[in-house]
Amino acid sequence: MSKYMILRNHIFNIIFMVFCLSLSSFADTQVSANDFILDVDKVHALQNFGKTEFLFVDVRSSEAYSKGHIEGAINLQAKHSFNEVGDGTRIASLDQVRKYFSEVGIRNSDSIIIYDDGNLKNASHVFWLMQTYGHKNARVLNGGFPDWVKNKGKVSEQSTRRSVSQYTPAISANHLSSMLTTRLAMKNPNATIVDARIKSHYLGDKSAAKRFGHITDAISIPSGHNFVMDGNIKKLKKITELKQLYKDIEPDNNVITYCNKGKESAISYLVMRNLGFNVSVYDGAWLEWGNENNTPITNLKKQNALGKWKLNNEN
């Protein structure tokens, strides 16, 4: 082979490598409409590319926000995602959403990244709220503020004040389930109910309501099973691991998830939405279901105790 051919091949290889690297970099700057969870490095890549302008929404307390937050973030405390009427466990009303979103300057057109202290309970609940009230472009930051700081993201103690907006919420009912729709799901072979509480509550050892156990036919996938520790930072597992966690759910089924008050089920909602499931949150949660006298429940602890009693008395 001539020196000219060797040189030409060498140049071609270099050009090809540069092309592949550019494709990889371009991929890092793309985000689809169904990417509801973003890692910090992905956000940095999108920001560096300059194609997407995000509004960061810090849903921690005002005290935590004032001590340091993502530069440019506004503060919308997670408590405003709950209804102020009653016991404060139900989703915020349409009027509340209109009021608080407008006060902090959120616009319907904003591309939003929600974050909290990393456990995703508050961020997921606000994400679910936004989807339920029709916000078209909202995502959650995996690892929250701790991972942002770890990855040297820009931080500020200066509060961001946006001009008051005229936010217009619109209810998207397919993200919200009631006691009635949950009852109907129990009899539907094309529906799955997911209990996101810890195992002891599912089994009937403990309860936040007067009755113990779980909604009959519900399967147990505790929200904590979605996470892994990355050093001292709590983060969601890789997508392949999360798919494995939910592998027993038919992909075309309508999924309803619930917990005690709404935060754990919101995490499950976020993860399953990101996996492509058609999922909603039972807003009344176990506090409503477990405090009713006639809702169908299964108490595995009681069943097991009864089974042991029968076994001992039959022998």
* Sign of torsion over alpha carbons 183, 297, 85, 57: negative
**pLDDT of 22:** 41
For the cut 80, the answer to whether the pLDDT of residue 202 exceeds it is yes
Phi, psi angle pair for 63, to nearest 5°: -65, -45
Query: What is the pLDDT confidence band of residue 259, given thresholds at 50, 70 and 90?
Result: very high
DSSP 98: H
Q: Which residue has the higher pLDDT, 204 or 311?
A: 204
> What is the per-residue pLDDT across 33-92, written as a single tens digit (0 to 9) for each?
569 999 999 999 988 866 568 999 999 999 999 999 999 999 999 999 999 887 778 999
Task: Read off the pLDDT of each residue in 130-147 and give the average, rounded to a whole number.
Answer: 97
The per-residue pLDDT of the chain, averaged, comes to: 88
The DSSP-derived string for 36-70 is -EE-HHHHHHHHHHT----EEEE-S-HHHHHH-EE
Angle at 207 between CA 242 and CA 281, to 5 degrees: 45
**pLDDT of 262:** 95
For the cut 50, the answer to whether the pLDDT of residue 315 exceeds it is no
CA distance 111 to 125: 17
Query: What is the pLDDT confidence band of residue 305, given thresholds at 50, 70 and 90?
Result: low
**pLDDT of 53:** 85
**pLDDT of 71:** 96
DSSP 223: G
**Domain range 31-171, its CATH number among 3.30.470.20, 3.40.250.10, 1.10.3720.10, 3.40.50.720:** 3.40.250.10
Supply the pTM of this predicted model.
0.86
**pLDDT of 37:** 97
For the cut 80, the answer to whether the pLDDT of residue 7 exceeds it is no
Query: In the chain, what are the domain boundaries?
Result: 31-171, 174-311
* 68, 126 Cβ separation under 8 angstroms: no
CATH of domain 174-311: 3.40.250.10
Task: Read off the pLDDT of each residue in 129-149 and give the average, rounded to a whole number.
Answer: 97
Q: Reading across the β-sheet that carries 55-58, which strands appear in turn? A: 37-38, 138-141, 112-115, 55-58, 74-75
Are the folds of 31-171 and 174-311 the same? yes
Give the SS3 label for residue 127.
helix
For the cut 80, the answer to whether the pLDDT of residue 312 exceeds it is no
**pLDDT of 307:** 38
Query: What is the pLDDT confidence band of residue 21, given thresholds at 50, 70 and 90?
Result: very low
Amino acid at 221: I
> What is the per-residue pLDDT across 232-249, written as a single tens digit (0 to 9) for each?
999 999 999 999 999 999
Query: What is the pLDDT confidence band of residue 26, given thresholds at 50, 70 and 90?
Result: very low
* 168, 64 Cβ separation under 8 angstroms: no
CA distance 167 to 174: 21
